[in-house]
Structure 1
């Protein structure tokens, strides 16, 4: 079946990327099909349906983001402030550089398709869980529940602030990063101080 051909799928996803970057998050399936030189029904046949295309795009891009953020936060030999700063900077740089794709995946596709929304939510949740585990391991005596609460709070805060910042390009990225880092460091300091 042609829908199983990984090279063909890659070519079609490349076409989708080009259209979304060029036309923004409102890019149509018809425009994506035209870019690929096929009809819309053939495009859907390769991915099962529109949801399958959305999920293939999400898998392609979100895993890249997750891997980058994981590398940044797991840097050894760097204090919490430095790791938070490099992770948040990398995240904001990535969403700003891929604005149309970010808005397509996190806003349009998630709003139109419940499976894609569930997938994106699960990825954000897994980032919170991972960060909670890192916090628990790095903070002696901080219980696993408290570490998980902080991990999810930090991920949600950075994502929501990133969305706000994209709507306010006049705000300097460094100010946003340092404000977020300050909140994270203060929350961690408060959490560990309360254990003493």
Structure 2
């Protein structure tokens, strides 16, 4: 989960290299100290005071949202080519997408928990911002499903796209809390659920 991909409100035209360096400092502290990493520790890592840290992002919420852009959008960037592979077996695509997601969140556990368990819970604007990013992935996946022709009805395709994103995200969150559960079992079960839903949705709704 990396690289700043979007300008967050509150940037105010500040030096993008300096902004990137501050986010790098935040990443290092969060990876090292976990989701409870303090803003004071992040500022100290960057060699500045906490008010100056906030000033670069508008406020603490701006910093949270900048980190969300950097990491959540990067997850999406990594997932996109997996589910968008044309002419590839649906099971293979679904499995590859799920595996990529689980690998990324488990490899960046502290950052994931900081964003989804702390920042999102602590700040309503950050929660809304991340929800918008995740929702855009559901819309994109719904469009891919419709374009594939597997599900002809574009509304049903959109419903499935959002359902798949929500299912994989919440299951991944649960799995991180249960490391004793074999990763292959999680991937297999999610893949089966996706394929079952797709197969059912490809048939005309009852009563038509």
Indicate the SS of the match to 1:193: coil
Return 5+ residue gaps in structure 2 as ranges.
1-10
Which moved further from structure 2: 32-41 or 139-148? 139-148
Does 1:168 find its partner at 2:193? no
The higher relative CO (CA closer than 8 Å, separation ≥ 6) is in 2
Alignment of 1:139 with 2:156, yes or no, is: no
RMSD: 1.7
Match of 1:151 in 2: 161
Contact 1:88 1:158 in 2 (8 A): yes
Distance 2:13 2:49 in 1: 14
Instruction: Confirm or deny: 8 A CA contact 2:145 2:151 kept in the other structure.
Output: no
Assess if the C-alpha contact under 8 Å between 1:3 and 1:9 holds in 2. Answer: no
2:41 to 26, 31, 40: 31
Contact preservation (8 Å) 1:30, 1:39: yes
**TM-superposition CA deviations, 1:82-124 (whole Å, max 9, x none):** 0000000000000000001011111211111111111110111
- 1:49 Cα deviation from its structure 2 partner: 0.5
**Kept after mapping to 2: 8 A contact 1:19/1:27:** yes
Q: 1:62 aligns with which of 72, 89, 98?
A: 72
Post-superposition, which runs of at least 4 consecutive aligned residues in structure 1 deviate over 4 A?
none
| Number of aligned residue pairs | 196
Task: Give 5+ residue unaligned stretches, structure 1.
Answer: none
The equivalent of 1:49 in structure 2 is 59
The equivalent of 2:3 in structure 1 is none
Q: CA deviation at 1:141?
A: 5.8
Give me the TM-score of the superposition, normalised by structure 1.
Answer: 0.95
Matched, 1:74 2:77: no
TM-score in terms of structure 2 length: 0.90
The equivalent of 2:7 in structure 1 is none
C-alpha distance in 1, partners of 2:112/2:24?
A: 15
Residue 43 of structure 1 aligns to a residue whose secondary structure is helix
Post-superposition CA distance 1:19-77 (Å, at most 9, x none):
00000011010010011111111111111110111111111111111111111111133
CA distance in 2, matches of 1:6, 1:140: 43
Superposed CA deviations along residues 163-188 of structure 1, whole A, max 9, x for unmatched, are: 00000001111110010000110111
Matched, 1:20 2:46: no
CA distance in 2, matches of 1:140, 1:67: 23
Structure 1 counterpart SS, 2:88:
coil
> Is 1:104 equivalent to 2:84 in the alignment?
no
Q: Which structure dedicates a bigger proportion of its chain to helix?
A: 1
